[in-house]
Amino acid sequence: MLKYHLPSSRRYIVLLLATVLVAVQVLANGTQDSHPRLPISIENFGKLNDNYYRGSQPTVEQFDELKKIGIKTIIDLRKDSIEGASQRARDAGL
């Protein structure tokens, strides 16, 4: 088995460089917001991609919030959908 040993000072430099690179990556990920905050008060609301969002059941007031950011269609995936929710969404222009 062939072993390669770096001189002591080189090992410390390589270790220091690796530590700095990891720290920079961690700090960059911690401060970067990949999904900018949208002015929506719906619980668990988030942007999945440029075309799809997800969140909990919106209230009548929250339908207006969705319309303001350009959402046109709501898909209800609940088994126990709330009666009248479809009509309220239509009334809000969705």
Q: What is the pLDDT of residue 79?
A: 77
What mean pLDDT comes out for the span 29-39?
55
For residues 47 and 42, give the distance between their C-alpha atoms in angstroms, rounded to a whole number: 12
Q: Is the pLDDT of residue 6 over 60?
A: no
| Better-predicted residue by pLDDT, 21 or 6 | 21
What mean pLDDT comes out for the span 63-84?
85
Q: What is the pLDDT of residue 2?
A: 59
Mean pLDDT of the chain, nearest integer: 77
Which residue stretches of 1-94 are H helix?
8-31, 60-68, 85-91
For residues 78 and 43, give the distance between their C-alpha atoms in angstroms, rounded to a whole number: 15
The pTM (predicted TM-score) of the whole model is 0.54
